[in-house]
A and B are shown apart, each in its own frame.
Chain A
Amino acid sequence: MIRALTLGASVLASPVGATGLACTFTDLCAPLTDCQSHPGLPFTFELIDGALALSTAEGIAFGTPLSHVEAPALSLIFDTRPDQTLLLSVSNTGQAAMTQHDFEAAGRLTSVSYFGTCEPAS
């Protein structure tokens, strides 16, 4: 479970918009494989009660901002149970990377990173 980390509301000041963060990922990379281009994989992180949240098949996963990353850049972690941990980072120019550490049902731990851009959602 997500442990209590220092939450900083100020981290959400920017680039998060009134309703959240709209991201489009165009490259998917897994170690030891070539990256794959994608025409645009949309991910929306909704702002719910002041926190960015990701809707998954299992429910809503709230992001925990990492306060050591200074705004307007941001990094958040998401515990997307039952089998994943996500790290999302957005630079001050809107460049974004999201890495998923995923435990597969077959008993394997894998990593996939998505690259693209994020912008305020309004």
Chain B
Amino acid sequence: MRRLSLACLTAILCTLPVAAAAQDDTAPVALTCLLNVLCPHTGACRDLGQTIEITEGDAGWRVDWVGTDLPSNYELIADIPPAADAVEQTRLRSLIHRDTNTQSTQMISFDTAGHVVVTTHQPQAGMQVVTGLGTCEAAG
């Protein structure tokens, strides 16, 4: 994988606040996340303050956008366990939502250390890309 100058980019992101939200790695996921920053690729980032709830149930994965009527059906696309020699034993999972009407795809990645990243691609609308960042904690 080419990384080139990504190190400098990601280093800046590393300064983001991190929520301590360690979760039992074997229990079904039940997280409450606050997306506090929204970054469209064509403009400046802005504060968001959107709560999402990520849950793993018998019927699959749900991401509920609290206070909205957005769809909640998501699919697990990646489940990456921590490397044996990793500094932090953190598990990464990624979900997607497919929106047939808008031809858009939303990818949500979250880890067991309490980070969440949401990115939406809409290639049929001038390639719009939006990314949101936030933190999660175990749902109470």
Chain A interfacial positions (CB closer than 8 Å to B): 1-3, 5, 28-33, 35-36, 38, 41, 43, 54, 56-58, 64, 66, 68-70, 73-75, 77, 79-85, 87, 89-92, 95-97, 99-113, 115
Cβ of B39 and Cβ of A91 under 8 Å apart? no
Whether the Cβ atoms of A84 and B45 lie closer than 8 Å is no
In the bound assembly, the distance between CA atoms of A79 and B99 in angstroms comes to 21
CA distance A106 to B127 in the complex (A): 32
- Least CB distance from A104 to B in Å reads 6
In the complex, B69 has a CB within 8 A of chain A = no
The answer to whether B119 touches A113 (Cβ under 8 A) is yes
B30 within 8 A of A: no
What separation, in Å, do the CA atoms of A97 and B104 have in the docked complex? 12
The number of chain B residues touching the other chain, given as a range, is 35 or more
Chain B residues with CB under 8 Å of A41's CB are 2, 4
Q: Which residue of B lies closest to A64 (CB)?
A: B77
CA distance A107 to B19 in the complex (A): 12
Q: Are the C-beta atoms of B127 and A115 separated by less than 8 Å?
A: yes
- Interchain CA distance A90-B92 in the complex, whole Å: 26
Contacts A41-B2, A89-B105, A110-B10 given; indicate if A77 touches B117 (C-beta within 8 A).
no
B80 touches A103 (CB 8 A): yes
Residues of B within 8 A of A100 (CB): 6
Grouping DSSP codes into helix (H, G, I), strand (E, B) and loop, the A interface class, with mixed when no group exceeds half, is: strand
Determine how close the nearest CB of chain A comes to the CB of B84; give it in whole angstroms.
10
**Looking at the complex, which one of B13, B107, B109, B121 makes contact with A30 (CB distance below 8 Å)?**
B13
State the Cβ distance, A57 to closest chain B Cβ, in Å.
6
A47–B121 alpha-carbon span in the complex (Å): 23
Minimum distance in angstroms from B113 CB to a CB of chain A: 6
Residues of B39-54 contacting chain A, CB below 8 A: 39, 41, 45
Contact A70 B103 (CB under 8 A): yes
Q: How far is the CA of A41 from the CA of B2 in the complex (A)?
A: 9
Alpha-carbon distance A109/B131, docked complex (angstroms): 13
Taking the nearest CB of chain B, how far is it from the CB of A31, in angstroms? 4
Known: A35-B41, A56-B1, A109-B110. Is A3-B123 also a contact (CB below 8 A)? no
Contact between B111 and A112 (Cβ–Cβ < 8 Å)?
no
B115 within 8 A of A: yes
The chain A residue with its CB closest to the CB of B39 is: A31
User: Is residue B124 within 8 Å, beta carbon to beta carbon, of the partner chain?
Assistant: yes
User: Which residues of B sit under 8 angstroms from A64, Cβ to Cβ?
Assistant: 77
